Structure formats: structure tokens, C-alpha cells
Chain A
Amino acid sequence: MNKIVSKEHFSANVVKLEVEAPLIARSRKAGHFVIVKVGKTGERIPLTIAAADTVKGTITLVIQTVGESSRKLCELNEGDYITDLVGPLGQATHIEKVGTVVCAGGGVGCAPLLPIVEAMHKAGNRVIVVLAARTKDLVILEEQMRANSDEVIVMTDDGTSGKKGLVTNGIEEVINREKVDFCVTIGPAIMMKFVSLLTKKYNIPTVASLNTIMVDGTGMCGACRVTVGGKTKFVCVDGPEFDAHQVDFDEMIMRLGAYNGLNKK
């Protein structure tokens, strides 16, 4: 049982929860995720850790309501408890000084991108963040990104904030004006697919953090398997970050729909 110490609405469908989890806060690194289960009959769902405070002993999760399980989590309030929380899981992001790094986040994927932006910046890289969302209200963490990077480019589908266009337009603008050595992308699978296609064209090494269906999250079930470079990998223990140019995004997108129509409520 982990207590929610604060709750903030980023938008109608996106909630930030700060949760008591001192052991996880102490051991987590950028890129790690947790498995969360709400209620006795709840489903186990993976969520990438957005931030941690070792002094307060808390971790921060940013959740978008997409189905029953995320809705249950978003409905919890300050003072409520999350029934089960386990982590940190997965391999941490490999952080090193490579030069100029573009960090491209889409929607709620911007939350787990923040610790990577921080770590990449701390490691001495020039960090340019491209934040993408459908509309102004869905752009999250812009201030925090600015505080931890060299530049932030905001892209919205409708042009209500920043520039009008897709995340790929923002990245390409950077590529056209300066040398980019590395790219990190987190967001919807379809977005990461197009980021990957773009950076492949320009030969820029890119990692994508994949958020697949999981049950245990510890390597036991294989629900999260993806094809990377022609080989089957488990996102939970081999990932969640992979060489984006090697990921079979079409298969991943297909598998994300495995239980569509089977949702129970």
C-alpha cells in the first residue's frame, strides 16, 4: 500500500500523482518504470517513473486516462492508497556525453522524458526538447523542461501553443539547422515510429522507450514482447528502451490492440 501525497490535474485526462515509495525513490534511475495495481481486482499496468524525491521518499507518476485501469488510478485522491506498487523495473537509460541530444516527447510521454532530459543535460550534453501535443491544454511540463535543457520547441496539431505541426516537424527543424548526435523519444507508438523513420533518414542514433502490455513486469509472462532487429525481446527486462531504428513498430502497434474489444467494463 502506497499513499498518494499529492495530486495535480495537468488536463482533463492527465493526472500527476506523487506517491510514497521511499525504497523505489532511492533506487530508481532515469528510464525505470513501475507496475501499479489499484484494488484487489485491479489490473497490473506499467508506468514509467517521471520523477523521484529521495528526501521526501516519493516518486511521481503521470497518468492519462485511456481505459478502466488508468481511470481507476486517476480517480484516486490525495491521502488514498495505491494497492500495489512495485519497481523500479527495466534497464535504466544509458546516459553519456555525446554532444547534441534531441529529446522528443508526445503527450503523456513527456513525463518519463523529463528525468532523461535532466540526466542528459547534467552529463554535459546540449539538450533540445521537442514537446508535442494535440492542443495547448495537453502540453505538459514545459517549464520543467526549460529549466533542465538548452531549448524547448513546442509543437501542437492545432497551433494553439508553440508551432503548428507534428513532433517530426520540430525535430527536422533542429536537424536542418545544426548537427544532432543522438535522439530519445517517448510517446504514442505511432509517433515514435515516425520519429524513428525521420532520424533513420538522417542517420541519427535514436532510442525509443516502449510502453507495451505487461502482466508481471519481471520477465515472467512475455506479454510485452517486441521484435527488435529481427529478434524477440522482452520490454520489461531487456527494455523499455531500444534502438528505435531496429524496432518493428507496426507489430508493436498491432500487439497493443490485443485486448481491444475484450475490455471488461
Chain B
Amino acid sequence: MTTEELIAARRAEQWREELRKNKKNKERTDIPRVHMNELDAEYRSHNKEEVNLGLTAEQAMQEAQRCLDCPNPTCMNGCPVSINIPTFVKQIEKGDFLEAAKTLKETSALPAVCGRVCPQEKQCESQCIYTQKLKKEAVAIGYLERFAADYERESGQVSVPSIPEKNGIKVAVIGSGPAGLSFAGDMAQRGYDVTVFEALHEIGGVLKYGIPEFRLPNKIVDVEIDVLSKMGVKFITNCIIGKTISQEQLQEDGFKGIFIASGAGLPNFMNIPGENLIGVMSSNEYLTRVNLMDAANPESDTPVLMGKRVAVIGGGNTAMDSVRTARRLGADRAIIVYRRSEEEMPARIEEVKHAKEEGIEFLTLHNPLEYKGNEKGCVTHMVLQKMELGEADASGRRRPVPIEGAIETIEVDEVIVSIGVSPNPLIPQSFKGLEVTKWGTIVVNQESMQSAVNHIYAGGDIVRGGATVILAMGDGRKAAAAMDADLKK
């Protein structure tokens, strides 16, 4: 059966037909989109409790009624891992929450994660008929995904996708972030003997070291990883492929396919004076200390600077994560410094909204020129150039240009530079035969994710340079399908 036929067959099931007849489309479209329940902004800005509380069962069932169960579900085109969106939404409408969770797991290894951090407004929800044709707010697919995954986890009846007979073929995954986990789940479901190698001491990659607890609690990630373990996926921490074990040794150990998902590495700096002062650091360092090493906890041996006047340079989701973390660690002033205007900010609208509610200041159209420090080498001031928007640049966004003479200096005791990352150089340096771009990303076939070496595939930030969790997961799925086809030849 083709995908289209499969979608049609499930839509034709009797319960779906009955559900559609239950309510007229007009009644469905009249229901307003649900609002996410959230913690109070003042309360949450002093702790690491999760901001979004999820939907109640009543809210979820009502929101699910808004979905028109379209014969051609365009929402699915917007999902990089092809979740059967109408099926799981209708299962929620019917009250079959556990079934909805199973539907999610057919194609996604991380539904509770995606339900939280996926930019649905740019993915599935942007393709929803409400957005496209009705000019109304989309069905809250992301909230519903989170609801089904959370319901299953909290019910204690976490299902494990069924595994066909093992085929005994060993495949290796390098990196346990979203791309690697997605690939591992798909290959395990196809019967492969999957081993995931992780450089750090924890499984989860950016989901653990990068995304803060208040947006994605670690215990949620651990439950999804546990499902993969139950599916037979082996995890090896503290192991760096290319260093601890070489490419050749992996092959000698019988691994027939390798998926490289080693992620984003080197943080970018602006190379301006004073950037190496004490108190100026990358968002990777700051977030790794707080998230992976739990440095804000007095019990942890890892230190972290807890500034009172913290500036975060950048306008992406990582910048928002950093500035909101700084606020939670006691900053009186936590400031976003961004060289363009708010309209051009790459961060999710929800993150910007949450940040503002928590008292984060936004210095848009400002760009740091220099940092100044005291006699101990600690940063004390930052010199900012005010900007204005000029002509559109290659990215289609209006280029920020300096306003001559408009320079101001503000007091800071901590600066977090969050202007992107370059790919991790460890794998490109240590693997033979790969084609690597001048930016350090691995070149792959866009359809199959296959690299210049036949049995080696790659995906996620090591290919994209810097992307989202869901795009990385989509790469993992594509690579799994292609590697499977290739190994079965």
C-alpha cells in the first residue's frame, strides 16, 4: 500500500466515519483554539518547573473536535517524520488516548519531546486547513501530541512498538541527540541490532545539555529513551567514535552501516575585543553547565556564574533558553541583545512571549562592539552599536546597518554569546572518505542522507549546520529508510 492508500484506509475505518458524522464541520470550526495552561510568570521565573502545563483531557478532546479529518491531510506534509496526524487526533476526540500515543510512536521516537519543542507553527500547523483555507488558528496539533504522550507516560502503561524478528545486522549510530534517536528507533523497528555511541556521560544530546528543564524536563526525555532501550537499542556513553573507537574498528566489529548524528559543535564567537574576559561565554557552555551538569544545584561540583546583569547576544531559541535561565538563576536584569528587530528574530513566538512575561528586556537593533573588564579580567561593561534596518539581504530579511555615532555602554557582569554553532569537527577530522563543506558540514544526498562513503549516512546538525529537533529527526527517518533498503539489496 502506498502512503496515500494507508492514510485513506485508516480514515475509512468505521469509527472514524461515525466520529465525522457526529458533528457538523460548522460546529467544529466554531470552536475556538485551546490555550495552553501555563505557570504564573512571576512564580516560574524563580524556579526550573516546566512552564507549559499541558492540556486537560476535556480540553484535548474539545480541541480534537476542531480537526475536520480532511481526506487529504495537508498537515502531514508539514511533518518531517510523517506522523499520521488525523488518526491520532481523532483517537483523542474518541477518548482513546493510549491508542493515540501508539499512533505517534509508529513514526516518532520522541513524541513527548516533539510535543514540547517542535515549532509546529512552522511545520504541521502551518499546513493545517484552518491556516491554509479558513484563515483561522490551526488545530493545536502540537499540544495534542504532547497530551497523548504525557497521558500515556502518566498512565504507567507505556507501550513499546512491536519489533519484527531480529535480522542480526549491526548498525552504529554516532550521537544520541534527536537525529540519532529517531534513526535508532526506526532501525530497531525494522529488526536491526542498533548501538548508539554517545560522547557525553548522558544520553539525549541537545535534549539534555541544551534545552532547559523549564521547557523540556530531563525525565521526559529519559522515558522516551527507555522505550528505545526496551526495543533493544543499546546505548554506550563516554565513547567517541573516531577517538575511542576508530572508523576501521567499527567495521571490524561487524557494523554494516553507520549513521553520523554528532551534532553541532564549536560555538561561534564574534571575535570582538574583550570576548575572552571572565564572564563572557558561549550559550553552549552556560546551558551545559546548568542543564547537563546541574551547576545551579548546590550539590553539584560544577560551578556556574550567576550574574545579576546578564546580556545574551542573539535572537534564536538558544538565546531565549539562555536568557530565561539567567533570570531563573537570579539575574535582576536579563537582556536579549539582537542586531535586527523583533520581527526578524528566529526564536519561536511562544519563547519570545514567555521571555517577555518573565521580565526579560529586549534590546533589539543593538550589536556588541566590545566588552570591558576590571583588573581581575571580569567583564563589567559592554559597548553597543545601535542599528537600523536597511535593504533586504540574501536571507530575505532587512539587513541591520549601524547608525553612525549611536553607541552606548551598559553595565553587565555576565555575557552569553548565542549566535550559532559550527559543526563538530571530531568526525570530519577522523573519518576517511567523507566529503565536507567549507563550513565543516558533511555532504549527503538530500533524499537518502547517504554520504560520499556508501555505508555511511549522516543527518541533523552535522549536515544542516544548525536546525531544529524535528528536522534532525526527519533526517534520521530518511536515513533509516535508505540504509534499510541498501542493506537489504
Contacts and interface: CB of A to CB of B under 8 A. Distances in A.
Contacts of B284: 220-222
Interface in B293-317: 293-294, 297-305
Interface of B: 199-201, 209, 237-240, 243-246, 264-267, 269, 271, 275-276, 278-279, 281-282, 284-285, 288-289, 293-294, 297-305, 376-377, 424-426
B394 to A, nearest CB: 26
A227 B273 CA distance: 12
Contact of A264 (B199, B209, B298): B298
B301 A262 contact: no
Contacts, number: 127
Given A27-B245, A43-B301, A258-B279, 17 more contacts: A27-B243, A42-B301, A84-B201, A84-B237, A86-B244, A88-B243, A215-B285, A218-B424, A219-B265, A220-B424, A226-B276, A232-B275, A251-B377, A255-B278, A259-B305, A262-B304, A264-B298
Contact of A219 (B266, B271, B376): B266
B269 A222 contact: yes
Main secondary structure on B side of the interface with A:
loop
Nearest to A214: B285
Nearest to A253: B377
A103 interface: no
Given A215-B293, A232-B271, A264 B424 contact: no
Nearest to A68: B301
Interface string A27-46: 10000000001010111100
Interface in A61-90: 68-69, 72, 83-89
B276 A232 contact: yes
Contacts of A262: 303-305
Contacts of A87: 240, 243-244
Contacts of A215: 285, 288-289, 293, 302
B267 A264 contact: no
Contacts of B424: 218-220
Contacts of B243: 27, 87-89
Contact of A41 (B199, B300, B425): B300
Contacts of B275: 232
A23 B239 contact: yes
Nearest to B245: A23
Contacts of B305: 258-259, 262
Contacts of A41: 294, 297, 299-301
Among B239, B302, B305, the one with the most A-chain Cβ atoms within 10 Å of its Cβ is B302
Contacts of B376: 254, 257
Contact of A263 (B240, B245, B303): B303
Given A41-B294, A219-B265, A254-B278, A86 B199 contact: yes
B190 to A, nearest CB: 29
Given A84-B238, A216-B288, A219-B425, A43 B278 contact: no
